[in-house]
Homo-oligomer: A and B are copies of this chain.
Amino acid sequence: MNKFKIFNDPIYGFIHIPSELIFDIIEHPYFQRLRRISQMGLSYYVYPGAHHTRFEHALGAMHLMEKVVEVLRRKKIDISKTEEEALLVAILLHDIGHGPFSHTLEHSIVSDIRHEEISLRFMQELNTLFDGKLNLAIEMFKGEYPRKFFSLLISSQLDIDRLDYLKRDSFYTGVTEGNINVDRIISMLNVVDDRIVVEAKGIYSIEKFIVARRLMYWMVYLHKTGLVADHLLVKIFERAQALFRHNELECSSPGLTYLLTRPHASFTHETLVQFATIDDVDVIMAIKEWTKSEDHVLATLCKALLGRKFPKIRISNEPFDQAYLNELKAKYSDAQQFIFQGEITHRAYNAKKQPIEILYKNGMIKELSSSSEHLNLLTLTQPVVKYFVTSPKE
């Protein structure tokens, strides 16, 4: 059987599957399931083209990582065949722990565990199935491989994950400002003392990458309509969980039922198996069913989501005062479920945690925002916080 398949990617063109092991991982139902998990949660309610999935993102990130390996080898960084395959497997699987609607429901279906941890659990299961062939990939993913730069390529402030998702999300949303020059950034990467550095002549591309990411956050990921949709979905699951606890709700998805009735149980092998059966389809189907729930609150929330009748949202740079919130609650006393508040925060760049480092021609290495010409980035190291409150649509 031919295991050297090619995928057609609308962004990069042809993506080659580089090895048999990787072919087999992609074929596995755990991975195929990503075909039914939306990359950007409910953002398609705002950007109708954003129906791409974690499946494509994972393949894209793997493809970029191959290019990184090629660039580093050309710069005489020694990377063995074994290391290369492990690196590709690790990036391919870095997001396999995502559940339905990716980040949106990350803490609503299974609690107390982050998707990275679930990814690790999936990798361990696959490792058993594939006779330990994922050992090195897991080591890199956990940051335990001695050559640290491999782990930084998988997860840091300039990791390959970010390069792919920014480019991909920009492509599918049509927000062309988020498009970054992935080729140039990759071609500027280098390794010094086991750290990933960027050669100085790439500094403006990095600046642009940070600004593009910031723009994508405020214009896309935290777009106010998308925000309402996401929170509505979260509210639906909060309510559903409460009802499940009292046996006052059902849903036809066995996997979802299993998970919703054990919200804080520890994440066992059985949890994983059940988790692997659910995807966006189970969630939307449940919401369709719950539009007919006897629980009025749940039913109205579900109808609002499906019919795209979202609550209104107000966003402010200051927290809302209690008086205003009380007023809202009094005004809409019969539709409290549509009043929710929260804060959103985003930091364009964190100079402290796994900072981006610039390699100058004279061999000096400096943290990005300390460059006198890039003081503007220093400003962007401060987190921006905004507050929102919603109220029923009139």
Contacts and interface: CB of A to CB of B under 8 A. Distances in A.
B52 A56 contact: no
Contacts of A173: 8, 10
A258 to B, nearest CB: 14
A242 interface: no
B384 A373 contact: yes
Contacts of A183: 13-14
Given A13-B174, A177-B181, A288-B281, A48 B55 contact: yes
Contact of A177 (B44, B208, B252, B281): B208
A289 interface: yes
A139 B48 CA distance: 29
Given A179-B179, A379-B379, A204 B219 contact: yes
B44 A35 contact: yes
A347 to B, nearest CB: 12
Contacts of A9: 48-49, 174
A212 B179 CA distance: 12
Contacts of A181: 175-177
B376 A376 contact: yes
Given A10-B171, A284-B36, A317 B372 contact: yes
Interface in A41-55: 44-45, 47-49, 51-53, 55
14 contacts: A7-B48, A10-B172, A14-B183, A27-B308, A29-B307, A36-B284, A49-B56, A51-B51, A177-B184, A205-B215, A208-B212, A252-B289, A281-B281, A376-B379
